[in-house]
Structures are given as C-alpha cells and as structure tokens.
A and B are shown apart, each in its own frame.
Chain A
Amino acid sequence: MELPLLLSTFTTVFLAELGDKTQLATVAISGNSNRPLAVFLGSASALVLASLLGAMTGGSIAAVIPSNLLQLFAALGFLVIGIRMFNPMFSFSPPDEETQS
C-alpha cells in the first residue's frame, strides 16, 4: 500500500525528467566542466528542494511564488551559461582539457 505509491511517484517523476530542460542543462554543464560532482550536487539539491516545496505547499505554491518570473530568470541563466560556452574567455574549462584522455 505504501510501496506502490513510492514506486509510481518515482517512475512518473523519473520518466518526466528524462530529456527535460534541466537534465539537458545538466548534460551540457557537466560535459564542459571537469567538476562532475559539483554539477551533480548542485543539480540534485536544486531538484530536491524544488520538489520539497511542491510536496509541502500543495496547491498554494502557485499563488505564493511567481514561477513565471523565476523561469524568466532561469532563461537568462541558461543564456549566460550558453554564451559562456561559446566565448573561450569565460569557458568552464581550460581548452587543453581532455586532450590526453
């Protein structure tokens, strides 16, 4: 009675997240940074905190937090990181990284 709910939540959320924008961002950032642990910790803790807020506040979260505005800021962050990757001056990793592997 408890395990099915746990499993169905896990499956639903996991499948929904596959290929989602945040997972694609995680792929892009970790591919260009040689700190995979930092990327994993940052991404996992952000996702867990967001779902904690979702689970705890119930339906009231949409009224409290202007999610559209936050997503606009997130879009800005995506753009900044993306432009950083194009401009070697602000690159995440030195250009000679991975050449020996």
Chain B
Amino acid sequence: MEVGASNCESLNAICALTIKPMVEGSKEKTQAGPPLESKELGFVAVMTTTFTTVFLAEMGDKTQIATLLLSAQSGQTWLVFLGAALALIASSLVGVLVGRALANILPPDRLQKMAGTLMVALGLWLGLQATQSLIASSQTS
C-alpha cells in the first residue's frame, strides 16, 4: 500500500513536471497561431460531409453497376471488390492531391468561387438526372 502510494506521488510529480509544461506549451501554440474561428469545420465534420455526399452520389452510379456486373460475371466477388476498392481509393487520392495542388496555385477566393460553381453545377445536373429517372420510373410502373 505504502509502495503504491509513494509510486502514485512520484508519478504525480513526474506528471506535474512533464505534462503541465507540454499542455501549457500547446496552449501557447494555439494562441500564437492565426485565430481559428468557429466557421472552420472540424476533422470529423469534414469527413462526415464528404462521406455522406460521395456515398449517396455513388449509389446506382456506373462504377457500382460495373462492379456488380463484373462480380456476377466472374463469380469472384472478393477479387472484384478488391480491385474496385483499390481503384476507388486511388481515384480519391488523386482527387485530394489535385485539390491541394490547385489550392497552392490559385488564390483562395478564386478557387472557392470555382469550386462553388462546380459543386452547384454538379448538384443541378445530378438532381435533374435523378428527377428525370424518378419521373420515368413512376410513369412506367
């Protein structure tokens, strides 16, 4: 018991010596940098937004149809899935790298306007297509 208590105390002392300055140092760091306002989205928020949008957009997309056709044709579901998954990971890596490269070349406000135009155009196009096929399927059924 006594040994345990003394261990705890020495641990506390070590903690107080090592962790406290680290915490303080990191506090100073965040305060010294440019103020990150609340409009900056967090890691999880950016990831969730990207995941949801991309996942919904990919459902029923040509890639998914190609994957299911290939897997049905060959009968080797897992091999087809592996190939498709690697290709999709590679393609999203390319997308992210191109985005970062553009961010280094173009001024942020201009890039934001271009990206915003692109996203709105893609949204309108995707929405139009989905609405058209929804109407077509409701007419045939």
Interface: B21 (CB within 8 A): no
The A-contacting residues of B in range 11-57, CB under 8 angstroms, are 34, 36-37, 39-41, 43-44, 46-57
- Interface majority SS (helix, strand, loop, mixed), chain A: helix
Selected from B55, B72, B88, the residue in CB contact (under 8 A) with A17 is B88
B104 adjacent to A9 (CB under 8 Å)? no
- Measured between beta carbons, the chain B residues less than 8 angstroms from A77 are 49, 52-53, 56-57, 123
**Size of the chain B interface, CB-CB below 8 angstroms:** 86
From B113, which residue of chain A is reached at the shortest CB distance? A86
A47 to B85, CA, bound (A): 7
Selected from A14, A43, A73, A98, the residue in CB contact (under 8 A) with B87 is A14
> Given A55-B71, A71-B130 in contact, is the A29-B56 Cβ separation under 8 Å?
no
From A35, which residue of chain B is reached at the shortest CB distance? B46
Within the complex, the shortest CB–CB distance from B71 to chain A, in Å, comes to 4
Selected from B54, B79, B86, B129, the residue in CB contact (under 8 A) with A42 is B54
A2 adjacent to B50 (CB under 8 Å)? no
B residues lining the A interface (CB < 8 Å): 34, 36-37, 39-41, 43-44, 46-68, 70-72, 74, 76-96, 98-100, 102-104, 108-109, 111-113, 115-127, 129-131, 133-134, 137
A selection of 6 A-B contacts at a CB cut-off of 8 Å is A13-B63, A26-B92, A29-B50, A35-B43, A46-B54, A46-B55
